[in-house]
Amino acid sequence: MQTIKNYINGELLEPIGKTYIDNYNPSNGKVYSLIPDSDERDVELATEAALKAFPIWSITPKGERSRILLKIADLITANLDRLAIAESIDNGKPIALAKMIDIPRAASNFHFYATGILHYSANSHSMEDTAINYTLRSPVGVAGCISPWNLPLYLFTWKIAPALASGNCVVAKPSEITPMTAYLLSELCIEAGLPKGVLNIVHGYGHKVGAAISAHPKIPLISFTGGTKTGAEIARVAAPMFKKLSLELGGKNPNIIFADCDYEHMLKTTLNSSFSNQGQICLCGSRIFVERSLYEKFKTDFVTLVKKMKVGNPADKESRLGAVVSKPHMEKVLSYIELAKQEGGTVLCGGNQVKLDGELADGYYIAPTVIEGLTYNCRTNQEEIFGPVVTIMPFDNEEEVLMYANSTQYGLASILWTENLTRAHRIANNLHTGIVWINCWLLRDLRTPFGGVKSSGVGREGGFEAFDFFTEPKNVCIKLK
C-alpha cells in the first residue's frame, strides 16, 4: 500500500506524529493508501522552511522562477496518464475526464502563471510637474494555500502557481480526501529543481493542518477554495491578524433557458453543466429554469438523455459518471434527494444509489437525478448539494426568473441560454454572480477574473488579479521640485 509523505524543505517526510489516515478509493470503497495525519508541528516545520527560503526565492529573477515553473508544467504534461489515473482512483471521476480536463489544466496553470509573471507590471501616476508616483509590487511572504477535493490537482495548482511565480513561498494543504496528485506533484517539483522550502505540502485533516495554517502568525495571506462554512471559519481566525484573504466558496448556480435558444447546443451543454464530475464542480448549474413554452419539450428530451448517461467504472471510456468522492458525501447527496421528496418534488429520473457488480459493489455511485415540482425557495433549491442532482422549474418572464436566480445566499456563476442579444446583456447585468456564461459553460480564459459574490466568496483569482493578491503594493512618491 502506498504511503503518502509530506513535502517539507525539499524532502519527502513522515508526519512528526507518525500517524496516518486511511485513503479510500471511491470506486470500490476500499482503503488503498495512507495519508499523513499531520498536525501543527508539521505546519511549523513547513513554515520555517518557507520563511528560510523566502529571502532568496523572492529576489530570484522572474525569468529563473518562470523557467523552473515551466519545467514543472512540462513534467505534469509528460506524466499525464499517470496523474489522470491517480486522480481518478483518488476522487472517483472518470479517467477520461481527468485526462481531458484536470491534468491538462494543472499544467496550464503553471504555464500560464510562469509566463504571466514576465508580463506583469505596476502602475505609475504622474502629477504633472509636481511629482511622480510609482507602485512597487513585492511578494508578501509565506502564502497558505488550502484546496478542496473536487478538482484536486487543478485547483491546488491554480493557487500555488501564481503564489510561486510572484515570489512567495508556500505552505499548502490539499484536501485530505484526495491528496494523491498533490503528493505526485511534490515528486515532480523535486525533479524540476524547485529550490528547497519554496513549496511545502502538508497533508492531513482540515481541522488540524488547515486550521494551523490559517492561524499561523507568520503566514500573512491565505488562498482558500472550499465550502462556505469552512471559509467563514478561516475568515474568523484570520481577520484579527489582518491576513490577506482570497475565499472561493460554494455555489448554487442557475441555468436559465429561454425558448429562443439554440436548442440542441443548449441540451448537450446542459447535460455537461449538470453532471460533469458527478455534479461536483462549484460551477455546475444545479437549478435549471426553463421558459414555460419550452418546458415540457425540454423536460422530455433532457430526462431521456439523462437516463442514457452511463454510471460506471471510472476506468471505462463509456462511463459518463464515476463515483462521488466519499461515503459521507454520497449519504449527504442522497439525503438531499429525500428532502426534495419531502418538500413535494417529483423525481423524474435517478434518485438512487447505483450498485455496480463485483469489485465495484461497495463504490459510491449515484444515478444522475432530475427533480421537478419544487418551489424556488425550498431548501433543495437554496442549499448546495454538490452532486449529480438538478431541479427543473418553469418561468414566465425575465423579472420572475431573475428573482428566482438571485434568491440564494450564493453568487458564483450563472448560465444563460438565449439568441436575443439585448436580453442576454440585460440579464447578465442583473444577475448577482461573479461569472455569467451566455450560450456556453465552463469556457475559461485564464486571464479573466474568477470568483463569486455574496456567500460564494471574497476576492478574485485568475489573470493579474491573482498576482495583485499575492503581492503587496507600495506607492513611492517623488516630488519633482
Among 5, 93, 159, 173, binds ligand NDP (CB under 6 A): 173
- Residue 249 as a binder of ligand NDP (CB under 6 A): the answer is yes
Minimum distance between the CB of residue 189 and ligand NDP, rounded to whole angstroms? Answer: 19
Which residue lies nearer to ligand NDP by CB, 354 or 453? 453
Which residue lies nearer to ligand NDP by CB, 15 or 452? 452
Which residue lies nearer to ligand NDP by CB, 205 or 464? 205
- 33 vs 28: CA distance, rounded Å: 13
Per-residue interface string for the shown chain with ligand NDP, residues 407-436, x marking contact by CB under 6 A: -----x------------------------
Strands 30-36 and 20-25: antiparallel
Alpha helices by DSSP H, 193-291: 211-215, 228-238, 263-275
Using CB under 6 A as the binding rule, the residues of this chain from 438 to 457 that contact ligand NDP are 452, 456-457
- Residue 462 as a binder of ligand NDP (CB under 6 A): the answer is no
- Residue 372 as a binder of ligand NDP (CB under 6 A): the answer is no
Strands 457-458 and 471-479: unpaired
Q: Are 353 and 366 in contact (CB under 8 A)?
A: yes
Strand order across the 457-458 sheet: 11-13, 6-8, 199-201, 169-173, 142-146, 221-225, 244-248, 457-458
Using CB under 6 A as the binding rule, the residues of this chain from 175 to 194 that contact ligand NDP are 175-177
What are the b/e assignments for 52-79, b being 16+ CB within 10 Å?
ebbeebbebeeeebbebbbbbbebbbeb
Among 92, 162, 226, 285, binds ligand NDP (CB under 6 A): 226
Q: Which stretch binds ligand NDP (CB under 6 A): 122-130, 207-215, 257-265, 360-368?
A: 207-215
Which residue lies nearer to ligand NDP by CB, 95 or 234? 234
What are the b/e assignments for 408-433, b being 16+ CB within 10 Å?
bebbbbbbbbbeeeeebeebeeebbb
Minimum distance between the CB of residue 193 and ligand NDP, rounded to whole angstroms? Answer: 27
Q: Are 291 and 394 in contact (CB under 8 A)?
A: yes
Minimum distance between the CB of residue 21 and ligand NDP, rounded to whole angstroms? Answer: 9
Q: What angle do CA 273, 183, 218 make, to 5 degrees?
A: 95
Tell me the site size for ligand NDP, rule CB under 6 A: 33
Among 6, 28, 230, 255, binds ligand NDP (CB under 6 A): 230
Find the largest Cα–Cα distance for the chain: 83
Minimum distance between the CB of residue 334 and ligand NDP, rounded to whole angstroms? Answer: 16
Which amino acids are annotated catalytic? Answer: 248, 282
Which residue lies nearer to ligand NDP by CB, 41 or 426? 41
- Residue 250 as a binder of ligand NDP (CB under 6 A): the answer is yes
DSSP symbols for 109-172? HHHHHHHHGGG----EEEETTTEEEEEEEEE-SEEEEE--SSSHHHHHHHHHHHHHHTT-EEEE
How many helices and strands (H and E) does the chain possess? 15, 25
- Residue 172 as a binder of ligand NDP (CB under 6 A): the answer is no
Among 7, 156, 289, 386, binds ligand NDP (CB under 6 A): 386
- 481 vs 223: CA distance, rounded Å: 43
Rg (CA), the chain: 23
Which residue lies nearer to ligand NDP by CB, 87 or 233? 233
Using CB under 6 A as the binding rule, the residues of this chain from 253 to 282 that contact ligand NDP are 282
- Residue 388 as a binder of ligand NDP (CB under 6 A): the answer is no
Exposed / middle / buried, residue 335 (Cβ in 10 Å: 0-12, 13-18, 19+): exposed
Output the nine-digit C-alpha cell for 141: 511572504
- Residue 207 as a binder of ligand NDP (CB under 6 A): the answer is yes
Which residue lies nearer to ligand NDP by CB, 92 or 250? 250
Output the nine-digit C-alpha cell for 9: 524543505
Interaction site with ligand NDP (CB under 6 A):
146-150, 155, 173, 175-177, 205-207, 210-211, 214, 225-227, 230, 233-234, 248-251, 282, 384, 386, 412, 452, 456-457
